[in-house]
Amino acid sequence: MIGFEALIRWRHPELGLIAPGEFIHLTEETGLIVPIGEWVLVTACAQLAAWHRVGHRELSLAVNLSPRQMHEAGLAPLLARLLDQHGLPPGLLELEITESHLLQKPEEVRRMLAAFSQIGVRVSLDDFGTGFSSLNHLRAFPGASLKIDRSFIQGIEESGSDAAIVRSLIAMAHSLNLKVIAEGVESPAQLRMLAEYGCDYVQGFLLGEPAPAEEVTRRFLDRPPSRLVGQELGRAGARHGLDHARRLLAPGP
């Protein structure tokens, strides 16, 4: 296990926890996504620092950015300030942006990505698979990664075309020195196939379901490390998410 992904839920007093798909578009339209996004970054960095203080110094954390945030001039200074405040290595913070974001106002996005690179934070391209022109932005960033959209992963067991697409995306990304994360892994067969294809990281309900940070700490960090299955599956790595796990791990003793 090498890290976590932070996603947000709205705790409504009457409706309980509401998934982001139900409300994020409203925050984008009203501009509330900017202060909410800042709160997420502040909270996420504080949590990562807390895990580091108790000895988990290799853990990384991925945080999703909205298109609105990507155009905020204060984003890069905020990131630099948070990393300095908590004494976090920049390379252990990963910012996830969707492929469509990169295609909107590309010059602005390129400047922001350059600012992230100067700070030292990593970038991953979320929901990848719908276009290729955005690779031009990421290929120059060391440590960048692509997240293959779950719609492709769900079909790799039954669909030869989906399997071929996933293999091709992984090969293409590796040829550009980009790491690959497969989203939506839900079966052992999918996990085995992705390992055979050389996928670097995985995430999905097979490995972990949504949980608060306290529960994640109790379930995954307050116990001996799991056994890597490199001998069985080949390349192995991990990024366990607060919402979705990313790893090639077996439960192990």
Tell me, letter by letter, the H, E, C secondary structure of 128-183.
Answer: ECCCCCCHHHHCCCCCCEEEECHHHHCCCCCCHHHHHHHHHHHHHHHHCCCEEEEC
Which H helix or E strand runs over 11? strand 10-12
* Local confidence band at 134 (pLDDT 50, 70, 90 cut-offs): low
DSSP state of 66: -
Distance, C-alpha 94 to centroid of its chain = 7
Q: Measured between alpha carbons, how far is 156 from 196 in angstroms, rounded to an integer?
A: 12
pLDDT value at residue 246: 43
Which has the higher per-residue pLDDT, 42 or 108? 42
Rounding to the nearest 10 degrees, give the CA dihedral for residues 47, 127, 74, 46: 0
pLDDT digit string, tens, across residues 75-132: 999 999 999 999 999 999 999 987 666 666 667 777 888 888 889 998 887 766 555 5
Q: Are strands 16-18 and 201-202 parallel, antiparallel or unpaired?
A: unpaired
- Does the pLDDT at position 237 exceed 50? no
| Ordered domains of the chain (ranges, CATH) | 3-250 (3.20.20.450)
Q: In the predicted model, what is the mean pLDDT of residues 38-43?
A: 95
Average pLDDT over the chain reads 80
